[in-house]
Amino acid sequence: MIIERFQLGLIATNAYLLIDEDTKDAVVIDLGGDFSKVKEKIDAYGANLKYILNTHGHFDHILGENDAQNIVDVPVYIHESDKIMVENLPKQLERFGFVNNTLPPNNVKTFTEKDVFKIGNKEINVIHTPGHTPGSVCFLVEKNLFSGDTLFYTSVGRTDFEGGSFKQLSDSIKNKLFLLDDDITVYPGHDSKTTIGYEKKHNCYFGSDNY
């Protein structure tokens, strides 16, 4: 599987392009800015974008999706608990102090932890990890975890925004993510990639080195 990272949008959020090498099916995770850079890669690989997935509904992860839909007819998917955040994109931007006229995406569909997405023969499994937002999720594809703002390199997502809960975040990380195999690569919404094993040992909130 091909994985390409892009740092996009107002605060350089990580967006990820996943392409199945056999079928050329593709998905974008967290399109937070300029779609043209992603589209160039999609075209270069001769890939077909099937849908856009979101780890959660904060503005910096969804800001490029309306523009993308004006170029490519694709649905956007968000966990059912965060759909209202997508619909309220203009209010989000205003609340965070940004003057921006970007509209929310259209054709927004919801999913739960029970749903499984596919590109080619590869399954994209949903792990519901509330805490950063009520509908925060991680996507597990083979040995790759796309963690959004739940788990970062040696850190975790903020819980002081509306709908956040450190108790829920702690439960999501300790009882879901840290039960995964140590060799799984973690691709977060910000900063550098890491592994589950590294975070179990070195994470400044939940790593064993800090106990």
* The Cα angle at residue 153 between residues 183 and 26, in degrees rounded to 5: 65
Question: For residue 211, what pLDDT is reported?
Answer: 63
Instruction: Output the domain CATH number for residue 110.
Output: 3.60.15.10
Amino acid at 191: D
List the chain pLDDT tens, one digit each, 211 residues: 999 999 999 899 999 999 999 999 999 999 999 999 999 999 999 999 999 999 999 999 999 999 999 999 999 999 999 999 999 998 888 888 887 778 899 999 999 999 999 999 999 999 999 999 999 999 999 999 999 999 999 999 999 988 999 999 999 999 999 999 999 999 999 999 999 999 999 999 998 877 6
Length of the chain: 211
Average pLDDT over the chain, rounded to whole?
A: 95
Determine the pLDDT at residue 102.
84
How many domains are contained in the chain?
1
For residue 48, how many C-alpha atoms fall within 13 Å in the half-sphere facing its CB? 8
Q: What confidence score (pLDDT) does residue 101 get?
A: 78
Closest by Cα among 121, 12, 14, 31 to 72: 31
- pTM for this prediction: 0.96
What range does the domain containing 81 cover? 2-210
